[in-house]
Amino acid sequence: MSRSEDTLHILLRDGTQAGPREVDTLVDRLGPHLAQAALGVRPPRRRLVLPVGASVVALAAGALLMVQPTPPPEAVSLVATWDGDVSGVVSSPVEGLALTIDGRGQLGGSSRHPEVRWSKGRIGISVEPGALDGFTVETQEARVDVTGTAFEVSRDAYGTRVTVSRGSVDVRCGQDQDTVQAMTADLEPIVCLPTTAGGLLGRAQAQFDAKAPAQDIADTLTQARRQQPSDMLTVEILATLALTWQRAGETERAWTLTHEALSKASGFRHDDLRRLALDLALDREDCAGAAVFIDSVGTADARSQRAVAECPELAPRP
Amino acid sequence: MGHEIAWAEVRRRDRRALEALCRQWMPTVLQWCCRLGGRGLDAEGAAQEVFIVLLDRLDSLDGPHVVGSWLFSATRRVLAQHRRRVWVRRWLPGVSIDHIVGGSNPERRSSARSDLAQVQDIVSGLPPRLAEVWVLVQIEQRTVPEIVDLTGIPEGTLRTRLRRARQLFLAEARSRGLVAPSVAEVP
């Protein structure tokens, strides 16, 4: 049925209105946290603090390294932010530099050595030879330095991709950025992988969506686990890995990973994983395993019916 | 926003003042989670997480005037984490979105299969930065200065995002047959 735009607004407003009982329930559930806060007890810090701290130090160190010791007198500071609202050629603050953007990032540095911190999307850069002392594009996982060339940096779930159409650039991947790869127009684009567990999980999920080979996805997720993610992120990594191996027909691997994820999961994710475990138990023709998880689905669910068909002993007793 | 909370009591970590603070802001945060998170997201779980972070970081709040913007920014971060979790749900066998939609609210659950579900899908399909502006203006009917204060987005950017969000929302609503093709284009 067709409605007016306003009716849709009202529909969403009314349909998502928080009711007093819901609010009461949620505030009640905060009880232990309120008690802790009232006692002045701070819960243990999240593990996130260390990587965040480390990256702040790394960023600060990177910023120090990038500071021009004595900028030429005519150099002026550059400050601009692109929020993703502008797409296409943007007016360049510096002569001899052309920028085409479709995404989010920030421009800084000086007019002699502009520096772009790129977050998401694509940025195309063309620098006339000799026009600048240097030009740097940094993403979370890559740093590209250039003097006179035309190149493009794009960042998405897969990582950061650098493509050169004229001249050459130096690309440094990863947090250490100590390995420099020279990149020219005749070479295949360089892809710098995400460096954080969350970023690598995003890459793996994009690979999964694109039906990449299971081993490639598993490699990405193995790297993600090496970053010592939080328990919450570990569960997502394990669940993605289990789904990957299930789709590849590697049921035993998927089964083991699902159990590992279950041991760390809580709430609705725990219920989700129990359903996956039921599915895998049936794939393994493991009626005892299925018996453990059959209560994770209703009797009308296709999985329950399959379980009963394959394991008659699981049929509900009259 | 209802009764005022005595901030000094909150700073002293008085249990009743903390509870009153949570009770005062819970409806707003829960609604943000429902409206911005989309159907597949556990809005109640996300709202609760926001308040757990709030109670953990009380010391970082300068005063009552920053609570709204602080909570909005925390909600953004928590929703981003929850969206990552929702990806897994898409691929899990036999997971019905409906059992987490609306959590304990039966009215919200029963309407999940209706047009409301489609509207939620459209909003959750918008880029998050556009969706938040659209929700604050069109659904919560907040004023521009209020939103600037809440989100920290400059006014010009806010207006641009709102226009873009409305265009995208209307185009998708039209393609789903939710609004008549004759509904005026966004200028």
Tens of pLDDT, residue by residue, chain A (318 residues) = 456 778 888 888 888 888 888 888 888 888 878 877 777 655 443 333 333 333 333 333 333 333 333 344 356 677 777 776 667 777 777 777 888 888 888 888 888 888 888 888 888 888 877 778 788 888 888 888 876 688 888 888 888 999 888 888 888 888 666 678 888 888 888 888 888 888 888 889 889 988 999 999 999 999 999 988 888 788 889 999 999 999 999 999 999 999 999 998 876 678 788 888 998 999 989 999 999 988 877 777 788 888 888 888 888 776
For residue A19, the distance in angstroms to the closest alpha carbon of chain B comes to: 8
What 3-state class would DSSP assign to A199? helix
What pLDDT was estimated at residue A215?
Answer: 96
Q: What angle separates helix A197-209 from helix A231-247, to the nearest 10 degrees?
A: 20
Tell if the CB–CB gap between B26 and A35 is shorter than 8 Å: no
Closest by Cβ to A268, choosing from B30, B94, B100: B100
The answer to whether residue B134 scores a pLDDT higher than 80 is yes
Distance set, CA A33 to CA A237, A245, B13, B166 (Å): 28, 38, 12, 39
- CA-nearest residue to B28 within chain A is A18
SS (H, E, C) chain B: CCCCCCHHHHHCCCHHHHHHHHHHHHHHHHHHHHHHHCCCCCHHHHHHHHHHHHHHCHHHCCCHHHHHHHHHHHHHHHHHHHHHHHHHHHHCCCCCHHHCCCCCCHHHHHCCCCHHHHHHHHHHHCCHHHHHHHHHHHHCCCCHHHHHHHHCCCHHHHHHHHHHHHHHHHHHHHHCCCECCCCCCCC
As a whole number, mean pLDDT of residues B33-62 equals: 85
Distance set, CA A167 to CA A11, A126, B23 (Å): 56, 10, 60
B22-53 CB burial, b ≥16 within 10 A, e <16 = bbbbbbbbbbbbbbbbbbbbbbbbbbbbbbbb
Residue A105 pairs in a beta bridge with: A82, A118
Residue with tokens 């970082």: B60
What pLDDT was estimated at residue A105?
Answer: 86
Closest by Cβ to A272, choosing from B13, B95, B115: B95
**Mutate which of B39, B54, B75, B92 to disrupt the A interface (most A C-beta within 10 Å)?**
B92
Give kind and range of the element (H or E) at residue A5.
Answer: helix A5-15
Which of B53, B105, B99 shows the shortest CA–CA distance to B79?
A: B53
B86-125, pLDDT tens digit by residue? 777 666 665 444 444 444 454 444 444 577 888 888 888 8
d(CA A294, CA B147): 48
Tokens of A114: 């502009």
* Set of chain B residues whose Cβ sits within 8 Å of the Cβ of A83: 129, 157
Closest by Cβ to A15, choosing from B108, B127, B177: B108
Closest by Cβ to B15, choosing from A38, A208, A272: A38
Say if CB B44 and CB A26 are below 8 A apart. Answer: yes
Domain with CATH 1.25.40.10 in chain A: 197-314
The residue extents of the domains of chain B are: 1-104, 126-177
Write down the architecture of domain A76-192 according to CATH: Sandwich (2.60)
* Set of chain A residues whose Cβ sits within 8 Å of the Cβ of B51: 26, 30, 33
- CA-nearest residue to A208 within chain B is B91
Whether complex ipTM tops 0.85? no
For residue A74, the distance in angstroms to the closest alpha carbon of chain B comes to: 31
Q: Global pTM? A: 0.53
Tell if the CB–CB gap between A13 and B52 is shorter than 8 Å: no
Tell if the CB–CB gap between A43 and B13 is shorter than 8 Å: no
Give the CATH number of domain B126-177.
1.10.10.10
Tell if the CB–CB gap between A34 and B15 is shorter than 8 Å: yes
Q: What angle separates helix A5-15 from helix B155-175, to the nearest 10 degrees?
A: 100
* Set of chain B residues whose Cβ sits within 8 Å of the Cβ of A202: 84
Write down the architecture of domain A197-314 according to CATH: Alpha Horseshoe (1.25)
What pLDDT was estimated at residue A204?
Answer: 92
Domain with CATH 2.60.120.1440 in chain A: 76-192
- CA-nearest residue to B37 within chain A is A16
- CA-nearest residue to B120 within chain A is A12
Closest by Cβ to A275, choosing from B14, B51, B95: B95
What pLDDT was estimated at residue B112?
Answer: 42
- Percent of chain B whose predicted confidence (pLDDT) is above 90: 20
